[in-house]
Amino acid sequence: MTDVKDPIVRIEGVTKSFGSFIALHEMNLNIASGEFVTFLGPSGCGKSTTLRILGGFETPDTGRVILNGKDVTALPPNKRNVNMVFQDYALFPNMTVRRNIAFGLELKGLGQAAIKARIDELASFLELTAYLDRRPDQLSGGQRQRVALARALAPDPALLLLDEPLGALDAKLRAQVQVELKAIQRRTNKTFFFVTHDQEEALTMSDRIVVMNKGRIEQDGTPEELYFQPASRFVAEFIGETNLLSGRALAVDQGSAGFDWQGHQLRATSTPGRAALAGGAATASLRPERIQVQRDRPATDNAVQGQVVNRLFKGHRMLLDVAVGETTVQAYTDTDRGRELADGPVWLGWNANSLTLLAD
Amino acid sequence: MTRNTRILMQCIYWAFVLYLLVPLFLMMLMGFKDSKFIGFPIRSWTLDWYLGVFNDTAVVQALGYSAVIAVVSTAIALFMGTWIAVALTGRSFWGRAIILGLTLLPAVIPGVISAIAFRIAARVVGMEPGMWAIIWSHAIHNVPFVVLVVMARLSTLPKSYGEAARDLGADPIITFFRVTLPYLTPAMIGGGVFCMLLSFDDFVRSFFLGGYEPTLPVLIFAKLRSGMSPEINAISTIVLVLTALLGLWAERSMRGMSKRAAND
């Protein structure tokens, strides 16, 4: 678990079940102020339940939620300084954009002048000034998404919850909005709690990603930590593409490890707490783009020989299927080299820090 | 579909339209006949019957009486019906099916039976025959229609709308008045117009529960007993035009509002 000093949100021992389905096993998590935290996982992993507990739409069975040092576990949504951007945006169809954004401000008891000033500020910030008097049905998907964001930011919440808000946008717009959203988060310095099942989205925007699986936190770290040092097989498979090598762990030291794979003695890294794996069957993750493919033996920590059996042209690069012993390893190479290596034996090489020993 | 069957289908369609519209058309036409007797041939034309309607105080009073009954009973039915629909939606509790069944019952009970029942009940509770008795029976008869349209509309209300309102600081009551109720408005307008037309059109309940003052259908019935005259055609045509306009307006405004809500 990432150490957080002076957290704005503390989730302490929270559990939640729906009937016999356990949505959340005991969860403990701290979120720092100004952090962009993403909860990532497949559907049913508990990420949305966590979000709804933070928003006040679900009450945890046990545990507490502390917001700004205050226990808010039993408070209804309208009594929490937390706002949410809904998956379907949930803009009120009978109100203009202006009235939608004003909704939370009016309920906070702000005066007319203050409300107007706040709306104008947000509208110019989110480029909505021209649309303030339109109704939601007269807006495009991207505009609606910005209105939902403006409405949720308007009451100045301590924590902003975002429930897969990019799901309804097409791929191109989504990429653009990812960049915008990150920029908005930096400029407002708000704490964002973002929920998604899209790993690319998570990698692009987050300061920190919490990977969830079956109601438990699988791993909690920066996007780079998750990508290069996945703690478990689930994380390695869920984030990006990877080769999972099945073999035997040899000596496991602090940080480094030996790995026996089809008779090759490989050097690998291990995250702390994997010492128990030593001597037993284990899995290691190897990202396809971390492998060098060449004719001659490369000067890397690990090198094995194989045979190219298939090529997939991907434009700027090529994905090679290389048969090594009984298994096939996938490796990326640039397109020109991929053409040269079309047939014949090749060497695959990678360094110890690219091969990560996993807990199963 | 071959060309011949298409032509056949069109013929059937137009024959049906004719079948529906010819009686109405004849009714309108006879109102313009310059004679006391309904029937062909029409030798001369007049507007007297139509103008006469507005000078007949009994008719004008009955029209006003019917309109007041329609508006008040509809208001009550809308209030009760929306309340019940909201209470029955979104949660299941013991007795929900029973409440729903009892609520919908007045819509399926034959008019004469329910009119007699109302008459007896009115006497038991000491209610005088007259406007309030009629309003009472019309309201209860109309509640099921309001419940049905409002429940249908509620079932399309995204759960997130209410949650968004709560999230932005609204308590359940503010959420209901600012989010749920506006969303239900098209259904309430549609249901309300339907209720008004039902009430305006009702003869049996108004006849059994009425006092000395007749509603419009009751007055027309009374006039019929003293013989058919083109004045009745004129009254009927005016009522037809008014109700058709009301129905058209409701249909149009409802479609616009539902579309707006659905697009979001």
Between positions 119 and 178 of A, the ones with CB within 8 A of B are 135-137, 151-152, 155
Which pLDDT score is estimated for B264?
45
Which pLDDT score is estimated for B259?
60
Vertex A327, ends A322 and A329: CA angle to 5°? 40
Is residue A179 included in any domain, yes or no? yes
In a shared domain, residues A159 and A298 = no
The structure tokens 């309109």 sit at B67
In a shared domain, residues A308 and A246 = yes
Of A87, A93, A155, the CB nearest to B169: A155
CB distance B185–A136 less than 8 Å?
A: no
How does pLDDT run across B155-198, given as a tens digit for each residue? 999 999 999 999 999 999 999 999 999 999 988 988 999 899 88
How does pLDDT run across B207-264, given as a tens digit for each residue? 888 888 888 888 888 888 877 777 787 888 888 888 888 888 887 877 766 665 554 4
Strands A216-221 and A208-213: antiparallel
CB distance A78–B168 less than 8 Å?
A: yes
User: Which structural domain range is residue A315 located in?
Assistant: 241-358
Q: Name which residue leads in pLDDT, B227 or A293.
A: A293
Residues facing A356 on adjacent strands: A269, A285
CA B105, CA B102: separation in Å to the nearest integer?
A: 5
CB distance B168–A83 less than 8 Å?
A: yes
How does pLDDT run across B11-41, given as a tens digit for each residue? 999 999 999 888 888 878 777 777 776 677 7
Reported as type and span, the H/E element at residue B263 is helix B230-263
Which pLDDT score is estimated for B103?
87
Which pLDDT score is estimated for B44?
73
User: Averaged over B141-153, what is the pLDDT?
Assistant: 93
Are the beta carbons of A213 and A45 closer than 8 angstroms?
A: yes
Is residue A122 included in any domain, yes or no? yes
- Residue A277: is its pLDDT beyond 50? yes
In a shared domain, residues A72 and A108 = yes
- Which of A233, A256, A286 terminates a domain? The answer is A233
In a shared domain, residues A266 and A199 = no
Is residue B229 included in any domain, yes or no? yes
Total structural domains within chain B? 1
In a shared domain, residues A36 and A148 = yes
Is residue B123 included in any domain, yes or no? yes
Are the beta carbons of A279 and A319 closer than 8 angstroms?
A: no
Vertex B242, ends B239 and B245: CA angle to 5°? 145
Of B163, B171, B261, the CB nearest to A90: B163
DSSP class of residue A212? E
How does pLDDT run across A56-112, given as a tens digit for each residue? 999 999 999 999 888 999 899 999 999 999 998 999 998 999 999 999 999 988 889
A162 band by pLDDT with thresholds 50, 70 and 90: very high
Contacts with B177 from chain A: Cβ below 8 Å: none
Is residue A30 included in any domain, yes or no? yes
Is residue A2 included in any domain, yes or no? no
Strands A345-350 and A292-294: antiparallel
Is residue B139 included in any domain, yes or no? yes
How does pLDDT run across A135-151, given as a tens digit for each residue? 999 998 888 988 999 99
Total structural domains within chain A? 2
Contacts with A92 from chain B: Cβ below 8 Å: 161, 164-165, 178-179, 182
In a shared domain, residues A156 and A264 = no
CATH code, domain carrying A249: 2.40.50.100
In a shared domain, residues A131 and A101 = yes
Which pLDDT score is estimated for A275?
66
- Which of A216, A233, A250 terminates a domain? The answer is A233
- Residue A268: is its pLDDT beyond 80? yes
Helix (H, G, I), strand (E, B) or coil at B127: coil
DSSP class of residue A21? E
**pLDDT > 90: what percent of chain B?**
28
Is residue A93 included in any domain, yes or no? yes
In a shared domain, residues A147 and A271 = no
Which pLDDT score is estimated for B11?
92
CB proximity B168 to A under 8 Å:
yes
Go through B14-38 and write b for each residue having 16 or more CB atoms within 10 A of its CB, e for each that does not: eeeeeeeeeeeeebbbbbbbeeeeb
Is residue A1 included in any domain, yes or no? no
**pLDDT > 70: what percent of chain A?**
97
Residues facing A306 on adjacent strands: A346
The residue of chain A with its CA nearest to that of B164 is: A90
Q: Model ipTM? A: 0.82
Contacts with B187 from chain A: Cβ below 8 Å: none
DSSP track, A144-178:
HHHHHHHHHHTT--SEEEEESTTTTS-HHHHHHHH
How does pLDDT run across A306-326, given as a tens digit for each residue? 988 888 888 888 898 998 988
Contacts with B171 from chain A: Cβ below 8 Å: 78
A125 band by pLDDT with thresholds 50, 70 and 90: confident
CA A86, CA A53: separation in Å to the nearest integer?
A: 14
- Which of A199, A233, A267 terminates a domain? The answer is A233
Mean pLDDT of chain A: 88
User: Which structural domain range is residue B135 located in?
Assistant: 47-263
In a shared domain, residues A178 and A292 = no
CB distance A93–B169 less than 8 Å?
A: no
CATH code, domain carrying B185: 1.10.3720.10
Mean pLDDT of chain B: 85
Contacts with A93 from chain B: Cβ below 8 Å: 183, 260-261, 263-264
Helix (H, G, I), strand (E, B) or coil at B46: coil
Is residue B246 included in any domain, yes or no? yes
CB distance B160–A91 less than 8 Å?
A: no
Q: How far is B111 from chain A (nearest CA, A)?
A: 39
Is residue B138 included in any domain, yes or no? yes
Would you put residue B234 in left (φ > 0), alpha (ψ -120 to 50) or beta? Answer: alpha
